[in-house]
Structure 1
């Protein structure tokens, strides 16, 4: 008896072994319970994805010629309009000079034709010249003016081609390696770009979600079973670390990939330090919806049968343990989210569940109540036991 009394003193009453009372009977075990209620719980989604540059531009020549100089540092940052390559401009400069000369000649011819038409005008009124001669002079003046406009356009085209010998950056961003070297011949119709520029701040993350999951979510939203969630997204990097800055879901594709059966969702993230590089694999975490009537149960309260189905013990009628099957498919923090099997007000046993059986008498107390040490054995009885 002394040994039994010492063990019971050291054992907590909540979920402890059966104590012997003064008369030698079994003490009813105390169990801790929680009263469940409905509350709004986010429906979290985890999707794999890859980073995509916010803007990508292939630097291409718009005129033919030989590259004379490369004007940028590979891997560096370039700004829109910054010169990147110099193409040999000698032929294009000559074309500009020729167009300027042609324009000057056309202007001189136009001036002479207009003067002739002006001189014929008063003579035609007094019929000093034939009416046909005056009409021809007017037509020549108009034709000369048209020739001036044509040559002016040719000059502008030549000047544009001359400007294209300076290949500039179409967008701001980080430029990759040069795919052509000085001395290389390039053409406006070539398939290979000179270099590629990518803007990575901000940066996109393209995520793939099963079309079946997306359909279930949309049906739940349409029926009112869940509410729209937040568009805020968090990222986990390839090494498992968290990306510090949150992003925002921008849109989802309107078609399903026939190859994978998935829909692409795109999120946008700030990337001021350039930590995210295009093509990285990441994991996106976001609350795609909110379940407004979810029931949370402590994980310690949920047990599993041999078939994997979940069940809990409730405080039943006459303070007896009642076994109840539930549906619990995901966790939130330290709790299971129960979608079926419980109703608000149920008292779920979360402490002292180790040896419970259906219909066993229990002494329920609110969970996490101060624990009571077992009563020491009666001193008289202990003396007799000696």
Structure 2
């Protein structure tokens, strides 16, 4: 028993000695919890250009089908398939022997008509002299003058025929009617061609610049022309950008140049035409592309990082904002679109607000937090 009392006394003494220390331990052992660390981004109001993405096809700015204007056999091709050609460059030669003969015959006809006219003029002058001497009749004078006039008309006909023969001879060399890129040859040496045939010999396309034809609904076009999709939109411009089939962007900006003046009755869309410089010939006719076209400018909008926006039970977009007192406040947002990894917000956030982007699962409205600023990424260009 004495030993038992001594053990109990020792335990009691130890408890009394350590008790005050336990009572004085800091937070986390029964005291107040420390502020929760969160990552925030300080928001800035800015003017944001809204865009819409429209599907389209590349169209050559000029297309010319090369066809012969005279008949004959193709004896030579004078271009490399796929090469650049200038206006007037020789592309094909047609056998010109028969056309050279026609020119020679026409030249001879002109010479004959010239000689006939010379003789008719001399005869008319002679008859006029005889009439002055009262040696001949007026009828003979009239006949001589008529013969002279007929000879003059005959010479003009012969000269016109010579001109036509020379034109046909020139057309035996088929030239480029348009500057651009010539495609593959659709005929071969030795082929017989005819004037104005349906099948072209080759096709030339102008590829710098090129057009991109896109479709837009009539309602969207009306809104764009009015210059506003929301009450805060204004000053829409015509500059457009292009996305290539591989997902990459095109290096050159384009411009909206025209819109069809009618709406397709079956689809309800309007065709818009954009023009893009194409110095590297990267865009080819028929290629499927997507065009980002500005629809207006939102003044004083906020670009809110998407990772900091969630939805409440009613489906409304919300964000957590840290007040100057480091207290969390929930905001309901008005979102009108997206820009990259950000939402475009026109209501619920203001310039200078500190929005929580990390640590959201640890906080609730009214909680005190320890905010840490995250380095903001550069704002995308409008």
Larger gyration radius, structure 1 or structure 2: 2
Taking structure 1 as reference, are residues 308 and 127 closer, same or farther at Cα in structure 2, changes over 3 Å only?
Answer: farther
Quote the residue 1:276 is aligned against. 283
Shift of 1:122: 3.8
Does residue 108 (structure 1) correspond to residue 115 (structure 2)? The answer is yes
Give distance in 2, aligned partners of 1:362 and 1:347: 16
Give distance in 1, aligned partners of 2:62 and 2:178: 8
Quote the residue 2:22 is aligned against. none
For residue 46 of structure 1, the aligned residue among 34, 50, 53 is: 53
TM-score (norm 1): 0.77
1:30, 1:362 within 8 Å by CA — same for their partners in 2?
Answer: no
Shift of 1:161: 0.8
Taking structure 1 as reference, are residues 303 and 21 closer, same or farther at Cα in structure 2, changes over 3 Å only?
Answer: same
The runs of 5 or more residues in structure 2 that have no matched partner are 1-25, 376-382
Give distance in 2, aligned partners of 1:210 and 1:364: 49
Partner secondary structure for residue 134 of structure 1: helix
Q: How does 1:17-56 map to 2 (within 5 A)?
A: 20=27, 24-27=31-34, 38-56=45-63
Q: How does 1:145-160 map to 2 (within 5 A)?
A: 145-160=152-167
Q: How does 1:98-137 map to 2 (within 5 A)?
A: 98-137=105-144
Quote the residue 1:215 is aligned against. 222
Shift of 1:132: 2.8
Give distance in 2, aligned partners of 1:167 and 1:86: 6
Shift of 1:158: 0.9
Quote the residue 1:330 is aligned against. 337
Quote the residue 1:342 is aligned against. 348
Quote the residue 1:70 is aligned against. 77
For residue 296 of structure 1, the aligned residue among 303, 313, 316 is: 303
Give distance in 2, aligned partners of 1:350 and 1:333: 19
Taking structure 1 as reference, are residues 254 and 228 closer, same or farther at Cα in structure 2, changes over 3 Å only?
Answer: farther
1:33, 1:364 within 8 Å by CA — same for their partners in 2?
Answer: no
1:350, 1:367 within 8 Å by CA — same for their partners in 2?
Answer: no
Taking structure 1 as reference, are residues 103 and 307 closer, same or farther at Cα in structure 2, changes over 3 Å only?
Answer: farther
Taking structure 1 as reference, are residues 209 and 126 closer, same or farther at Cα in structure 2, changes over 3 Å only?
Answer: same
Give distance in 2, aligned partners of 1:317 and 1:239: 47
Give distance in 1, aligned partners of 2:80 and 2:179: 14
Taking structure 1 as reference, are residues 293 and 90 closer, same or farther at Cα in structure 2, changes over 3 Å only?
Answer: same
Taking structure 1 as reference, are residues 218 and 75 closer, same or farther at Cα in structure 2, changes over 3 Å only?
Answer: closer
For residue 191 of structure 1, the aligned residue among 185, 194, 198 is: 198
Taking structure 1 as reference, are residues 227 and 126 closer, same or farther at Cα in structure 2, changes over 3 Å only?
Answer: farther
Quote the residue 1:80 is aligned against. 87
Does residue 161 (structure 1) correspond to residue 139 (structure 2)? The answer is no
TM-score (norm 2): 0.78
Q: CA RMSD in A?
A: 3.3
